[in-house]
Structure 1
Amino acid sequence: MKKMLWGRTFGVLSELAGIALLLVSAWLIVRAAERPPVLYLMVAIVGVRFFGLSRAALRYVERLLTHDATFARITEARVAVYRDLDRIAPGGMPAHRRGDLVSRVVSDVDAIQDRVLRLRGPWVVAIVSSAVTIALVAVIDPLAGAVLAASTLAAMAAIRVVVPWSVRRAGELTAQWRGDLSADVSQAVLAAQDLVAYGATDVLRRETRRATASLAAAQRRAAVVTGLGEAIVLLATGAAVATIAALSGGLAPVLVGVVVLAPLALVESLSTLAEAERLRPEIEGAEARLGELAVADAAITDPTEPLPLPASHDLRVHDLAVGWTSTVADGIELDLPAGDVIAVTGPSGSGKSTFAHTLARLVEPRGGQVLLGGVDIRDLAASDVRGVIGYLGQDEIVFDTTIRENLRIADPSADDQDMLRALSTAGLEDFVTSLPDGLGTRVGERGNRLSGGERQRLCLARLVLGGHRILVLDEPTEHLDEAAADAMLDDVLALAPGRSLVIVSHSPKVLERVGRQVLVGAEAVTAGR
C-alpha cells in the first residue's frame, strides 16, 4: 500500500510537470514575442528544461513503484484463485470447460492488474492534476477557471457514463467468446494426437474459427466506440478554448496564452480516462467470474470438529453408493487390511473411477460408509484423508519443468536423496541417474520427453514421496505396451506390504496377478474373492 501511495504521488507530479511544461512554454513564447532582455526569460527557460526532464524521471519512478506493488497484489490474487480451485475441485464447476478455467486463472487475474494500473490510477492522476490546473487558472482569471472547471467536469462525467455503456453494448459477449476460444484451443492441444489419428481435426478447426471470428467481431465493435471517449475530450477542450479566448480580452497579453492553452494541458490526462473506462466492463466481468470461484460450493465439506487420524490404515467400505450428481453404483463392499492388495473392476462407465475418487475423498459418498482405521472419512479433515490415501489417475498431470520440481509437488521439503529413494521405489532411479542433468532434466510439456511408462512411473514416485500409506491406482498400466505394462505392474505390486493398494483395472492380466477383486457393475456389486 505504501508503494502504491508513493507511486500515485509520483504519477500526479509527473502529470503536473507535463502541464507546467506546456503553460510555462506558452508564457515564454508570448513574453519572448515582446522582445524583453534575455535575462527576463532565464527563469522560464530553466523551468521548461526542468519540467521536461523531471516529467520523464517522475514517470519512470511512478511506473516502477506502482507495477511493483501491483505484481505483488496479482501474485496474492492468483494464489487465492488456486486455493479456490483446490477447494472446489474436482467437481465444483462442472459447467465450465478446462480452457475456460485456465482463462480465469490467467486473463481474469491479469484484469485485476488493469483495475489498479489502468483504471483507478488514471482517475486519481486526472482528478488531482485537473484540480491543481483549474485552481491556477482561477487565480489568474476566475472566469476562465470557472469555464475550465465546467468543461473538465462535463468531460469526466460524459466519459464515465457514455464509454462503459457503449462498450458494454458493443462487446458484452467478448468475455464469453474469449472463454470459448480458450476452451477450444485447450481441447485441441490436449487431444491433438487423437484428432489427427481419427481425421477429426476439421470439426475442432471449424469451432475454433467460429469462436475466433465471434471474438474478433466483438472486439472490433468495442474498438469503434473507444474513440467516442477521445471525441468527448476533444469536443470539451475545443469548447473551453473558444470560450476562454472570447472572455480573456481584459487579461495581460502574456497571460492570455496561459489561460487559453490550459484546457489543452488537460487533454492527455482526460484521454487516459477514456481508455480506462473502455476497460471497465472487461475488468468488472473478470472480477465477477473470479467471484464465482470464490463463492462456489466446496466439493468436499470438512466437519466442524474433525477427528484425529487413526493409527490404523485398514480400509473398509460398507454399502457404499458413489456418483457425481446421481448414483452410478451402490452396495459396494470392500475390506482392505493394511498392506494388502485388491483390484476393482467392472464394465466401462460402471463407476470404477468415481469409486476411486470417493476413496481418496475427492467426491462425497452418496450413501454407505468408507472407514479408515474404523473412522468414517466424513468425520476426518479431507486433507488428512488425502495425506493417507493417494490417488493416481490414468492421465496424471506432469508439468513442463524438471523431474525434481515435478516430485517436489508431493513434498516441498524433500531433498535429492528422498527423491531418488522414491524414484527407486517406482523403478525409475537408474533411468534418472543416467541422464546428464539427472533430477534437473526437463520433462517437456505434459512429459512428452518421457515415454508412457517413464511418465507413469514419475507420477507413481511422486505419490510415494508424498508418504501415502494407501495408494488408489486408476488403470496404472493403461496406454503402455505389454512389456512396459508388465514391468510397471511388477513395481506396483512390489509396493505391498509396505503400502495398501487399490488397483482399478479392466485388464485380465492385472486382475489375474492381483487375485482379490471387487466387481462394480450395473447389475450388482459384490465383494471380491
Structure 2
Amino acid sequence: MSRTYPRRARLAYGVTMGVAAQLAAVGLLLASAWLIVRAAEQPPVLYLMVAIVSVRFFGISRSVLRYLERLATHDVALADAVEQRVTTYVALDRAAPAGLGGLRRGDLVSRVVADVARMQDRLLRLRVPWWVGLVATLVVVGVVGVLDARSGLVILAGVAVCAIALRRLVPLVGARRSGRAEAQGRLSAEVAASAVAARELVAFGAADEARAKARAATQDAQSAQSGGASVAGMGSAIVLAVAGLTVALLAAWSAGIDPVVIGVILLAPIALVEPWDGWSEAERLRPEIAAAGERLAALAALSNPVVDPERPADLPDAYDLVVDDVVVGWEGPVTAPISFRVGEGEVVAVTGPSGVGKSTLAYALARLLPTWQGDIVLGGVPTRDILAADVRRRVGYLGQDDAVFDTSVRENLRIADPDADDDRLRAALASAGLLAAVDAMPQGLDTSVGEHGGRLSGGERQRLCLARLLLADHRVLVLDEPTEHLDAPTAAALMDDVLALAGPGGRSLVVISHSPSVLARFASVIEVRPADRPVVTHAVPV
C-alpha cells in the first residue's frame, strides 16, 4: 500500500475506515435495540429480516473495517516513526562529540527508543481517535435528530459537554501528574549506569548507594504510572456520567415517541461510549506525548559544534595533512599552538600529559570539533572549507574505547560499510591482523562478540575496531591510545600491524600515545603543551 498511495491519501483512507468501523459498531447496537423492541411486539418474522441481516452485516463489517483502519494508520505512523528516528540520529550525530547536554546514557537511550515510539501515539492514539469519534458522533446525532429533533439536541449537548470536559480536565490533571517520560529516563539512566559499572561499584563499596538511587527512580516511575491510571479512571468516569445523564434526560422526555424508536434513542448515548472513551485515552496521553516531543526537540536543539560552509570546496584527492598553528579546546583554548605535517603514507606520533588536549586535537583533525586558532589543511584545502562529512570520509578516528556492539563480527564491521561483501570484510580483518583469529572462531564472521566485545580479548577488540576503520577506506587514520589496556607483547604486535598500513601509497597515521615503547617507534613525535607553554617537536630514535 505504501508504494501505491501517498501518505496523506493513506491516512485519509485509514480515517475513513475508522469512521466506518465506528459507525458499524454503533449500527450494531442500535439495530440490535430496534430488533429486540420490535420483536417484543411479535410481528411476522419477515418484518424482522432486514434488522436481522443488518445485525450480521454490522457485526462482520466492524471487524473488517477496523482491520483496514489499523493497517493504513499504522503504516503511516510507522513511516513517521522511521523519519523521526532518523531525524533524532542526525541530531545526535550533529551534536556529538561536543556534548549532549549532560544526558546520561540510559536517559539518552530512553529518548531515542521510548520517546520516538511515544510519538507514534500522536497519530494513532491522539489524533485518529478524535477524528473518528467526532465524525461518528455527529453522524449518530444526525440520525437521532431525524427520528426525533429534541432527542438529537439532547445528545448533541451531551457530546459537547463530554468533549469539553475531557479536553480541558483530563490534560490539566494529567499534566500535574505527568513526568512518566522523565521518570522512565531517570530509571533507565540509573539502571544503565549500575549495569555498566557493576564491578567497580562492588569493588569500591558503592553498590548500596547505586541500589538506593535505582530504587528511588523505580518508585518515581511507579508513582508516575499510577498517576496515569488515576487520570484514566477520571476520564472514564466523565464519559459514563455524561452518557448516563444523557440517557436519563432522553428517558424523561420520551413521551409521545414511538416505543420502537425509544429503544434506539435511549441506546444511542450508550453506543457513543466507545468513541468517547477513545477521546478520554487520547487526552490522558496528550501530556506524555507533548513531553516526549519536548525531549526530542531538546535533542534537536543541541548546539552544532561544526558548521559547514555555505559553498563547500570539493574533497581533494590528495590526503597530505598539515596542522598549522592550531589551538584546540572544548569550551576555550587549552593548548599552545600546534604545527606539524603528515605527508601521504607518513606517520607521526602525538604525546603530552593527560588532560592537555591530545584527544581534542584528534577530534579536530576529523572535523568533529572546530579549532580556536590556526588551520588544518587536507590535500591543500583547509578542512573548514570542506563539508565535515567529506572530511570524515578521508580522515578516520579510532578511540581507545570505541564502541563494539553485542552482535556478530560481520555486523560490527558492516557499520563502516553496510554493503561490504565477505571478501572485503576478510581483507579488512587481514590488514588489522585479526583474520586468523576470526577464522578460528566457532562461527567465523557470524560469531557473536558479546556486550562491549566481552568475548574478545583486549587486543582482538582493538583490532576489530581497526578493521572497521580500514573497511571505511579512510586515507588518514587518527589512532587515540591504540595500545591502552594491552599488555606489552600484544601492544607491540598491534603496533606492528598499524605501522604496516603506512608507507608509499599507504595510509597516513597520526598515533596519539603516552607509552614510551610506542613513541620509540616513531621518528617524529609532536609534544602537546598547555596554552601557557610552547609546543615541542623532537625526534625519537626508531
Does TM, normalized by the shorter one, top 0.5? yes
Q: Which amino acid in the other structure matches residue 94 of structure 2? A: R
Distance in 1 between residues matched to 2:336 and 2:384, nearest whole Å: 18
Distance in 2 between residues matched to 1:208 and 1:366, nearest whole Å: 41
Q: Which amino acid in the other structure matches residue 520 of structure 1? A: V
| Structure 2 equivalent of residue 207 of structure 1 | 213
Tell me, which stretches of 5 or more residues in structure 1 are unaligned? none
Contact 1:315–1:373 (8 Å) recurs in 2 = yes
Q: How many residues are matched?
A: 528
Matched, 1:22 2:29: yes
Contact 1:333–1:526 (8 Å) recurs in 2 = no
Matched, 1:451 2:457: yes
Distance in 1 between residues matched to 2:134 and 2:436, nearest whole Å: 66
More deviation in 26-35 or 54-63?
54-63
Matched, 1:119 2:126: yes
Contact 2:315–2:390 (8 Å) recurs in 1 = yes
| Structure 1 equivalent of residue 367 of structure 2 | 361
More deviation in 63-72 or 145-154?
63-72
| Structure 2 equivalent of residue 69 of structure 1 | 76
| Structure 1 equivalent of residue 535 of structure 2 | 525
Which among 426, 444, 450 is matched to residue 420 of structure 1?
426
- SS of the aligned residue for 1:93 comes to coil
Distance in 1 between residues matched to 2:140 and 2:538, nearest whole Å: 84
Deviations 1:129-162 (A, max 9, x none): 1011001100110000000000011101110111
Provide closer, same or farther for how the CA distance between residues 38 and 311 of structure 1 changes in structure 2, counting only shifts above 3 A: closer
By how many angstroms is 1:393 displaced?
A: 0.5
Distance in 2 between residues matched to 1:343 and 1:206, nearest whole Å: 46
Deviations 1:11-55 (A, max 9, x none): 111111111111111111111111222222222122222212221
Q: Which amino acid in the other structure matches residue 522 of structure 2? A: V
Matched, 1:217 2:223: yes
- SS of the aligned residue for 1:369 comes to strand
By how many angstroms is 1:176 displaced?
A: 2.4
More deviation in 73-82 or 512-521?
512-521
Contact 2:88–2:296 (8 Å) recurs in 1 = yes
Segments ≥4 residues shifted beyond 4 Å: none
| Structure 1 equivalent of residue 110 of structure 2 | 103
Contact 1:322–1:366 (8 Å) recurs in 2 = yes
Contact 1:309–1:384 (8 Å) recurs in 2 = yes
- SS of the aligned residue for 1:330 comes to coil
Distance in 1 between residues matched to 2:403 and 2:514, nearest whole Å: 22
Contact 1:92–1:298 (8 Å) recurs in 2 = no
By how many angstroms is 1:118 displaced?
A: 0.5
By how many angstroms is 1:92 displaced?
A: 4.6
Distance in 2 between residues matched to 1:314 and 1:528, nearest whole Å: 20
Q: Which amino acid in the other structure matches residue 508 of structure 2? A: S
Distance in 2 between residues matched to 1:502 and 1:203, nearest whole Å: 42
Distance in 1 between residues matched to 2:206 and 2:494, nearest whole Å: 32
- SS of the aligned residue for 2:341 comes to strand
Matched, 1:132 2:136: no
Which among 80, 89, 93 is matched to residue 87 of structure 2?
80
By how many angstroms is 1:94 displaced?
A: 3.2
Map 1:101-250 to 2 at 5 A. 101-171=108-178, 173-250=179-256
Contact 1:399–1:406 (8 Å) recurs in 2 = yes
By how many angstroms is 1:119 displaced?
A: 0.5
Distance in 1 between residues matched to 2:217 and 2:399, nearest whole Å: 31
Contact 1:119–1:280 (8 Å) recurs in 2 = yes
Distance in 2 between residues matched to 1:451 and 1:335, nearest whole Å: 34
| Structure 1 equivalent of residue 443 of structure 2 | 437
Provide closer, same or farther for how the CA distance between residues 53 and 310 of structure 1 changes in structure 2, counting only shifts above 3 A: closer
Q: Percent identity?
A: 54
| Structure 1 equivalent of residue 336 of structure 2 | 330
**CA RMSD of superposed structures (Å):** 1.7
More deviation in 427-436 or 120-129?
427-436
Distance in 1 between residues matched to 2:204 and 2:396, nearest whole Å: 34
Contact 1:435–1:441 (8 Å) recurs in 2 = yes
Deviations 1:240-286 (A, max 9, x none): 10111111110111111111111111011101111111000111111
Which among 320, 325, 332 is matched to residue 326 of structure 2?
320
By how many angstroms is 1:343 displaced?
A: 1.5
| Structure 1 equivalent of residue 3 of structure 2 | none
| Structure 1 equivalent of residue 524 of structure 2 | 516
- SS of the aligned residue for 1:527 comes to strand
Which among 508, 514, 523 is matched to residue 500 of structure 1?
508
| Structure 2 equivalent of residue 351 of structure 1 | 357
More deviation in 271-280 or 517-526?
517-526
- SS of the aligned residue for 1:182 comes to helix
Question: With structure 2 as the length reference, what TM-score do the two structures score?
Answer: 0.94
By how many angstroms is 1:350 displaced?
A: 1.3
Deviations 1:485-504 (A, max 9, x none): 22111111111111111111
Q: Which amino acid in the other structure matches residue 514 of structure 1? A: F
Distance in 2 between residues matched to 1:527 and 1:303, nearest whole Å: 32
| Structure 2 equivalent of residue 43 of structure 1 | 50
